[in-house]
Homo-oligomer: A and B are copies of this chain.
């Protein structure tokens, strides 16, 4: 059974990579079969629901892995900035220093698939939620913590988009480096432009 588990891990890794690189529509069964070394029929034996089930399985697994391996430090002990720094280190590794697209982004285009879209929304919301917790832990108010968490996720996703489009990964590194400050330090006073509300 251990061998079987390893095989499945490798399979899922390959599967994930295809979806991440090509998106849902671009991830044809031919590409998937080639990448995994399994023939079409074998893929349908493991995923009776076809391509849609493959994508959902990939999302589900990535979700669990992300929470337990990337976000885990956030809920540990130690000062918040150190926990965030550790998450940033893992994020950098997870996204290949900025060279890998985010699966949630790649799968969020077209193809109507309702389940996938809902899954993506839940994952992003959970991610923000974890960031809010550590930001609150560092003493930020609920409203500010929410804004900063969203800002952090925006920075990560935006930097990945920029890196994919231009090949420049330095902004991604900079975003990661600024995460501890972003999620812990109270904002310096800036002229309050009158109106300002919650997110």
Q: Footprint of B on A, CB under 8 Å?
A: 21-27, 101, 104-106, 108-111, 120-121, 124-125, 147, 150-151, 153-159, 161-162, 164-168, 170-171, 174-175, 177, 181, 188, 190, 193, 199
Contacts and interface: CB of A to CB of B under 8 A. Distances in A.
Contact of A109 (B23, B168, B175, B188): B23
A109 B22 contact: yes
A105 B161 contact: yes
So how many copies of this chain end up in the complex?
2
Contacts of A154: 154-155, 158-159, 161-162, 171, 175
Given A23-B25, A25-B22, A109-B109, A150 B162 contact: yes
Contacts of A190: 181
Nearest to A152: B158
A173 B190 CA distance: 18
A106 B154 CA distance: 17
Contact of A157 (B21, B23, B151, B157): B157
Among A162, A164, A165, A177, max chain B CB count under 10 A is at: A165
Contacts of A121: 165-167
Contact of A161 (B23, B26, B158): B158
B161 A157 contact: yes
Contacts of A21: 109-110
Contact of A162 (B27, B157, B167): B157
A155 to B, nearest CB: 6
A22 B27 CA distance: 13
Q: Closest 8 interchain pairs by CB? A: A158-B158, A154-B158, A22-B110, A26-B110, A25-B26, A25-B25, A157-B161, A157-B158
Given A105-B165, A154-B171, 5 more contacts: A120-B165, A121-B167, A124-B162, A150-B174, A155-B158
